[in-house]
Structure 1
Amino acid sequence: MALPTVVEYVIPNYSQGYLWNVAGWDVYATWVAVGMLGSIIVTWLNIRGMEVSAWFQKLAVVGIFCVGILLFVGALLFNPETSNSVQAPNFIGGMGGIMTVMVMVPFLFVGFDVIPQAAEEINLTRPNIGKFLIVSIIIAVLWYVAVAWSVGKTLPLLQAHKIQHWQPLMR
């Protein structure tokens, strides 16, 4: 679902060829095609071997890092006084709003189960493995805080409410 959702935001009028509805979500042929293409690419990478997969992963990480830095710098340079967007006051919903974010935080750490495996494979000593884990988690927390702050700083409240894919999560 993630890859077709991203493509939908990048390509206008992307959802074509309605197929069915699952749990309130419309499924389109273009979504299925993008999902299948993504699966084929991942399968090809796995068949090619570890070296090609590692190269692709490094490229993807560098790309995500660059986009994240651009997002953060853009948020730092954003001037709400020159923007026509309506910014909401901080902490809407009080404790309920904070708890909504706190409930989502554990899901942001998907994939960090590979850190111990990576630490083992790069032959770190026991004290360094602990440091590696702690530093990795701190960097992850800082990264997610920076992304959340950047989006919250620049995304107008009215536009945030129009994002249809998040509406079921906000109920």
Structure 2
Amino acid sequence: MVLPRPPARHRDLGCSTRRRRQLLDKHLVGVAAQLEELAEELAAELETNDLDSGSWPRAGLRRSTWQHNGAADVSAVIQWERARLLTPGSYEWPYVAVRLPADAADEERRRQISEARRPVRAQLKGSSGRTFPFWRYVESPTGAPLDPAALIRDVLMAFRQLWDAAAPVLDVLHARRDGITAL
């Protein structure tokens, strides 16, 4: 069986797609250490999940005050699907997102956070979904060879832009006693 060649921007490292995926994954896992340093500067807590071997690794930040009914209910994250990374189609690239816990059942709370994210989505040109009131892929430039270090810099810049836009709105939402007042 002959496999199609990867797009030009994925061929730059002179190795297989699997090897490129592993290399980029390794760089993305390393982002957690950089976010840990950033957490102190931003008065936030580091959140990680599945970094070593999970299908959907993520690293992100949240404030201890971002709680609803006594549980952390939102965070800003960098996430990717390990198996699809660099495979053309959905989840080809890492993304930055405002993330709600997948098992959160409070639909009114989801709506509140999603509505609060509307200006952020417009400003940063993102999308929304049930678990992610804001998300946006971070891609390498079209036609440019894949440079994992440069992509990680872009991911971190996109994360910081997201944090700077989203954190103040989330702070206000969580500071309100009832959390329902429109922002």
Both proteins in one fold, TM over 0.5: no
Q: Point out the structure with the larger strand share.
A: 2
Q: Point out the structure with the larger helix share.
A: 1
Instruction: From the CA coordinates, give the structure whose radius of gyration is larger.
Output: 1
TM-score by length of 1: 0.29
